[in-house]
Amino acid sequence: MSATAKLHALARSYLFVPATRAERIGLAIGSGADAVIVDFEDAVAPQAKVSAREGLRAGWAQWQAQAAAAGVALLVRVNAAGSEYHAGDLDWCRAQQAFGLVLPKADAVALAALARAMPQARCYPLMETAAGFADLRDVSRAAGVVRLLFGSIDLMFDLDVADEDEPLDYFRSKLVAHSRAAGLPAPVDGVCTALGDAAELARHTARARRFGFGAKLLIHPQQVAPVHAGLAPSADQLAWARRIVATAADANGAAVAVDGKMVDRPVLERARRILQQAG
């Protein structure tokens, strides 16, 4: 896939890089991830936030050029609205023409403020609070919103739950449903913190796909390839989709059955979607 085509394809992987580790930004862009998020927020200690941000000025244009050539989206996770660092982050982003922003603890008020302060921003709201989910309809339809991200770890803390499976399923479904209703791409699932645990990452990815997510947030380059593989249609799904599309084409609009089941329009469109996802 060419760099231009990849840039316009739907991202499956969003890889975080701490703003304090400038030497990793170029490596992350070359890791195979579809998007790189330079993190000014959780990955940076309070006493290092300003110096970390300012330390990236000299190299930012070079990383932007590298990302554009590779077809990788280069984003910045700013500090949350209301924090003492938020306004400075936005000033930095305007100066560097870094307009792809991940907004943590997003809610309707924070998004409206961002739109006023930086109307050219392409915003990726990170949904990680009960207040944000209460505003989800407005958030998903706000100007400048590109795609919704699931901040599962912070949401667990906000809700005071220790289990990231069943207690969060309601919120997963809400993200998928509101994304679809607002005409947004399938949302991005939260991180898997079990570094080096291939089975746990595979479980997380399969769960994300099962709920209708289209991508995952990542914290290590080694997670990129397994997530891409886990989000891709399986060989059995591809074979089924090809049978459906081929049989429907041969029928010239007549009702058909495949594998003993009637093929109606939703089934045919699902088969086409699977083939599209497989490229």
What does the pLDDT look like over 63-100, one tens digit per residue? 999 999 999 999 999 999 999 999 999 999 999 999 99
Which candidate, 150, 141, 139, 158, places its Cα nearest to that of 176? 150
According to the model, what pLDDT value does residue 7 have?
39
More confident residue, 233 or 242: 242
Could you report the per-residue pLDDT of 34-43, keeping only the tens digit for each?
999 999 999 9
pLDDT of residue 1: 40
Q: Report d(CA 92, CA 95) in Å as an integer.
A: 5
Which pLDDT band holds residue 250 (cuts at 50, 70, 90)?
Answer: confident
pLDDT, residue 77, reads: 98
Rg (alpha carbons) of the chain, rounded to whole number? 20
Closest CA to 55 of 105, 15, 95, 20: 20
Whole-prediction pTM: 0.88
Cα–Cα distances (Å) from 131 to 84, 105, 138, 155, 157, in that order, read: 20, 9, 12, 10, 13
Residue 30 predicted with pLDDT over 70:
yes
Q: How confident is the model at residue 3 (pLDDT cuts 50, 70, 90)?
A: very low
Burial class (CB in 10 A: 0-12, 13-18, 19+), 267: middle
Considering the chain, what percentage of its residues have pLDDT values greater than 70?
A: 95
The residues, any chain, with a CB within 8 Å of residue 23's CB and separated by 6 or more, are none
For the residues 249-276, what does the mean pLDDT come to?
Answer: 78
Is the predicted pLDDT of residue 235 greater than 90, yes or no? no
